[in-house]
Structure 1
């Protein structure tokens, strides 16, 4: 029987219910060796039982002296002293420094009795047992006094501190070989679904690799937990019940992904009802509506959505604070920055939305936020995101250039060495790979289509934009659009040629040969996203077809089954055809080749680069152009099916 969501609750209400029903405090204390304490949370205040350093010691190589003996020392009037001994680090000082005397001393060695300063060896000259000093020192100079770093009885590290190499070094300096830390909460992670395959095994048709188990487990470990099991369960109620029951016996918290929405095949809710009390079933948020919170045998069980972005976002805002509290960690305080939305966004009304964004620093210091709209099933959305924007339930839209508050995933924005915004291309990815080999690893690549790339150049957000826009009037690629968009202080640099055509199932079973065939009832088409160069090419040819038939463009579009079915990349078009979700799409030959599909060439297009002149001073941009011009890149590029380079790096237009 299909289970409809219980009352959908707001995120704030869900947090209140969660914290009212559980006592999220550290679960225990254990003692570990300091060599195994990295990343653990300290469960006791550390009080120094000794001074550090425990004796006065030299901070340089030189000679221990009485400062008053060398007050008058200068380069032209050196002071002569008698060397009466030598002390190395670790030695017990058995010599005393009298007036007119000195002792050779190593860095870290204890200061001998009678000395109150150290002259650096660089300002001395020694002849046998006579030392000539050319520079005066003051009392205490080049000496670290006992207790000057840490004093006995001083509280050095407070309870609740996460132990890093710095704290562990201090513990060692104080003589600790063991330390008390909070016990790690034991967490069991379970993924459900007949479609899941464990990474490392062959991927069968229409199956997907299990992302959530590993992503959620890594998140929990980062929050101070111990993962006691990573388990998979098929869509079978009894098997899910058995797996969850077993997990409850040996864990403190159970996290389940998938099987929580109100579909006929979603079984986790029924399992949780049998094992305990379901406190929440359904959140008024996007992504993350199918979230369940239950109390089973007194333990927390959270049913997370099946899509990776949904699961990780809900984990971050709902589960992470609870686990951190159980691990003794401070609740994470994420940093915020103000940014302007790069494009207009229309969220779902009635639900709070968490929108992942990629941030771009502009020349004037302002920040633009690019929404990452890969969907809650796209794990790359989070890997590319710098943070997210929280949009409240009553907001109808966020306008372009509207200021928003971005909650960062890290502590700060890491400026990219170069930002490339525009059309997706395999050749461009090869260029970025070569940049990484040469040391430029912080290159931000945002695929928003050719038109979006030109807008980003105009707004000063991109250093480089990849574009392949065909002007339907002149038949010329890219150059007319630099003029049309009013781009200034830019260069249009020649890239390379790409063969575009129909991507078809192997053997072309539908016998598709021309644009006319897209109007057939038995043909299903997959389109490209608005703003992409391929979409412009598709629409141009459909307009020609409409003119030939004496129809309007809208009439022809209505006849193309799948016209509104959009893919963001050439690979996505090929994948849709390979999986039988479409019969034909338009893309580059290399995408068809990767999937073993048929290809009918339609045109050779120019993929070029618009570069802001102000960005030419950046080392990464200079290197990008050098690689583009290189014969090695040309050779590698032309190994990709359908790619050819003529004069890459040549300036086609300067504005």
Structure 2
């Protein structure tokens, strides 16, 4: 029997942070050209080697004078001085200002010998006898003296300064062309799992393959945190290949991140590489998602093993690893962004671990509602359907509906969607949503759409098919769509009777789908005609309980040869080149939460229905507006 590593004593989140803090992933400092320094952090103090400006200069266009020569001058009794020359910016003065004289001067020009002030041109006039000065000035007026901005020898910037365009400006003024900066932590990323294929590669779904999500997601997170990500080849589940790639990455990088193979199953053996070639400090942390986390040292590098599921991997990275990368790069923590809101629904929890619960936000007149977005750690859509996380203490049994919570946004740039919609998936709806500013739509099916609308969470629900449950809502409009059977070429299926009485393989939609409700309604009519129970018919259909989610999914099963017929739309059959057996027409309705009809996003959707519905359905076979 293969040995397994069991999760017994899970580390607390605080212990996990301390373990990562104990690792050294700080790179050596480096020197970069000034034009590459933006966004970097100074490693050493920068002192001024010269005065800025390096000379006394005029701060306005006017006349350089001796201040004492202007004593008593005013609008009624100006002082007239002889002009002895002109001084331009960027030129060395060739005149001297003596008693009773002045020199014309440009902004930024060197103050000529003898002058100690400048009279702005607006307070002078040219007269036959010279230049009439209509105001008195004091020594230093309209003059920036040498070193007034930065004096030679002074401290310009200290270590740890984040270099922005402002700092670039002063460094330029000091003549600095190379800047000592903190090094950028190099982070090697190694993915494991025989099922993974890098995006762009050939995917064989029939063999259980999926695209590698974590490598590119984590690499983007590393770069955002101030590190330099380096992708290594995929290691699969081969121990020797894992060992080779991890050691190679450890030789070349300050931090090594792996994803996958961190759990306690027989094939998840990456911890053995760390124990053999380095030091394993931690295996398992008491958080959800992300329990199977590894922390250790490998060669002279720091090592963290991320879970394989994308939501778990990114949650662990964001919570524990990104702060360590920022610290190693010398970057400040990002601006904290939180939102106070109320739970839209009751959420139970009792697993005894700190929960980092992904949540979405919806704005109402009464404030922000917070709803859980939890499709499981393997669902990548959770990454984009959530706006942040609510940290739930390990001892919390549930969050009550209406309970106040604090949402840690994924970034300060996160904004709640202008419209939150839920319900049926539909090709015409997708086109209408494209016309809105920033909507979010969760295709949970018509039955779930009605339920969530009754709970008061979404702004709108899009529903189709028959239902025996009413919902208090405002009907904004809708359309009809023809539905039926999507049939493989050559299959002997011309109606429901062929599925009931024959041996053809069928693929159905999920129980929350409006199309499924329409099919069941039609089966009820067939059962009545035959004098049997509907269950007798569904038991006779091979594959009735085989369900898929999307409106195109049954057609793709049929085209792949996995089924003879599937439940779908005429428009889908036309788009994917399937044969189609019509069974009926169903109405699709857009229902608005009655308390949010004045919300801007709802009004925008209603306007799109009024003005753009014809265009949305014009080239969809079997679709018609139904206002």
Tell me the CA shift for residue 344 of structure 1: 3.3
Q: 1:627 to 1:553 in 2, by over 3 A?
A: same
Q: 1:390 to 1:550 in 2, by over 3 A?
A: farther
CA distance in 2, matches of 1:294, 1:215: 22
> Is the 1:362–1:461 Cα contact (8 Å) retained in structure 2?
no
SS of residue matched to 1:570: coil
Partner of 2:40: 40
Q: 1:117 to 1:189 in 2, by over 3 A?
A: same
CA distance in 1, matches of 2:457, 2:62: 56
CA distance in 2, matches of 1:588, 1:56: 81
CA distance in 1, matches of 2:500, 2:311: 35
> Is the 1:58–1:109 Cα contact (8 Å) retained in structure 2?
yes
TM-score, normalised relative to structure 1:
0.76
Tell me the CA shift for residue 341 of structure 1: 2.5
**Structure 1 residues 15-62: Cα deviation after superposition (integer angstroms, max 9, x where no partner):** 156247x34363321111122223322211333344444456566667
Partner of 1:90: 90
Aligned residues: 618
CA distance in 1, matches of 2:536, 2:420: 37
Tell me the CA shift for residue 136 of structure 1: 11
Q: Which runs of 5+ in 2 are unaligned?
A: none
SS of residue matched to 1:216: helix
Are 2:482 and 1:499 aligned? yes
Query: Mean alpha-carbon deviation: is it higher for 196-205 or for 401-410?
Result: 196-205
- Aligned ranges for residues 103-122 of structure 1 at < 5 Å? 103=104, 105-106=106-107, 108-110=108-110, 114=115, 116=117, 119=120
Partner of 1:197: 197
Partner of 1:430: 431
Given candidates 476, 485, 502, the residue that maps to 2:472 is 485
Are 2:551 and 1:570 aligned? yes
Partner of 2:374: 373
Given candidates 333, 337, 340, the residue that maps to 1:338 is 340
Partner of 1:398: 399
Given candidates 217, 220, 226, the residue that maps to 1:218 is 220
> Is the 1:86–1:104 Cα contact (8 Å) retained in structure 2?
yes
**Structure 1 residues 184-238: Cα deviation after superposition (integer angstroms, max 9, x where no partner):** 2232211112222222233333422222111112222222322344221122222
RMSD: 4.8
Tell me the CA shift for residue 124 of structure 1: 8.8
Tell me the CA shift for residue 387 of structure 1: 1.3
CA distance in 1, matches of 2:287, 2:307: 12
Partner of 1:649: none
CA distance in 2, matches of 1:413, 1:54: 46
Q: 1:559 to 1:199 in 2, by over 3 A?
A: same
Tell me the CA shift for residue 64 of structure 1: 6.8
Q: 1:609 to 1:262 in 2, by over 3 A?
A: same
**Considering only CA atoms, is the larger Rg found in Structure 1 or Structure 2?**
2
Partner of 1:297: 299
Partner of 2:496: 514
Q: 1:296 to 1:154 in 2, by over 3 A?
A: same
CA distance in 2, matches of 1:534, 1:430: 19
CA distance in 2, matches of 1:224, 1:367: 32
TM-score, normalised relative to structure 2:
0.79
Given candidates 614, 618, 625, the residue that maps to 1:638 is 618
Are 2:311 and 1:317 aligned? no
CA distance in 2, matches of 1:411, 1:46: 32
Tell me the CA shift for residue 429 of structure 1: 3.3
Q: 1:220 to 1:100 in 2, by over 3 A?
A: same
CA distance in 2, matches of 1:163, 1:16: 28
Partner of 1:476: none
- Aligned ranges for residues 337-486 of structure 1 at < 5 Å? 337-347=339-349, 349-364=351-366, 366-411=367-412, 413-414=414-415, 416=417, 418-423=418-423, 424-434=425-435, 440=437, 442-447=438-443, 465=460, 467-470=462-465, 472=467, 484-485=471-472
Query: Mean alpha-carbon deviation: is it higher for 326-335 or for 550-559?
Result: 550-559
Q: 1:486 to 1:229 in 2, by over 3 A?
A: closer
